[in-house]
Structure 1
């Protein structure tokens, strides 16, 4: 079976059945992928405010009703407890487990947030002739914790996480133009070039995901990343936060162009 050819609902069915447990980059081209954050209702408003204050790192595309695992706006009939390839469970800021479903963890007071993911604009990058190295190399995108602090809200505070894609020098401006069309999935890069300026000392040692090759004619380009809430969880230490495992996204029924501004 060629998973890349499946529609979002078909992919979610395969994920629910345990047939896909890998990163989702390159799947469902043309459809929006999303980061997942699940919190108790008592922390949900603080997180919504945090996301509103940090829209580039945490662009909200859907929020469920308390106790409901169904993202009615972006994938009616889906189940956020089973339709993500891998999840992470954080308690008091400590990573407790990585699991393949969260049915046993689900509670009636839980609220799920879906945040735009940069995997969404990768189809547009490739259509513009811009290479996406982690897809070429069959890896997860490299992600790094930076020295840039998010704007705090309530209990939530912490550093921005970025994803990195090496881009040929002559295509950097085009990459900025292409991704700027998609503010709902992180938009334009937050940094170009020297990684040390944002606190990254070694591109071969990402905090999340896999290292990828950077060629002599390329520069590293960094986009805000929806793994930011996981770094925030480690610092803010909420009672419980459930997330996707980095790179293992929820695939929605939304088309990319629905989040494009032009």
Structure 2
């Protein structure tokens, strides 16, 4: 039991703002303030580069991060990261690794603080990976990414299990002080998905209504023709948000390089 003053003193550090990423300047300009120790959801329809967005965000912050990937293979995730750091396409990275030019890519990844855990997602597996991480680093990760919610055991279509995952993510964040970023799907079958597929889905289109649970929920969409990447804040506990997702920050995506930028790339 804590008095309000003691609670504020103990948790002020955990609530500080996360390191800013240059590509997200438009998001910050709209009053979005991702913070340490929050649960953050990134929701979008299929094929909207949610994994690339989360991977880029984590890599750019470069905080000690444990990334659980049930959605990407080990080679896909690592080659995307190498592509991001070198500016080469993932195809070029793959060809370079096959031709024996491995040292250059390994050097590019040397300073990364990301640790990956691949395969099926369950809380037993999370406990095991967390224990291994603490054994290796003698500390909890500062960022934990779950890619994605519906890949958790039993949560493919069961609302009760999905709610349990969200509660588990919240408990994990509170216990470790880590920022938990969890990826989730929005409906591909709504009217908006059919008539306006390149706009971020509104809060009511996020499957299961689960975007209401985190402190911060972001809705993302990619226009494959212009490569404009649109990010809307549909829930923010301590700042402005727009549940309709009609107001959004604009950035640009290079899917073949897993890069995002505030301005249109010149090449």
Higher RCO (C-alpha 8 Å, min separation 6): 1
TM-score, normalised with respect to structure 1: 0.28
Structure 1 or 2: more strand by fraction: 1
Larger Rg: 2
Higher helix proportion (structure 1 or 2): 2
With the length of structure 2 as denominator, give the TM-score of the two structures.
0.28
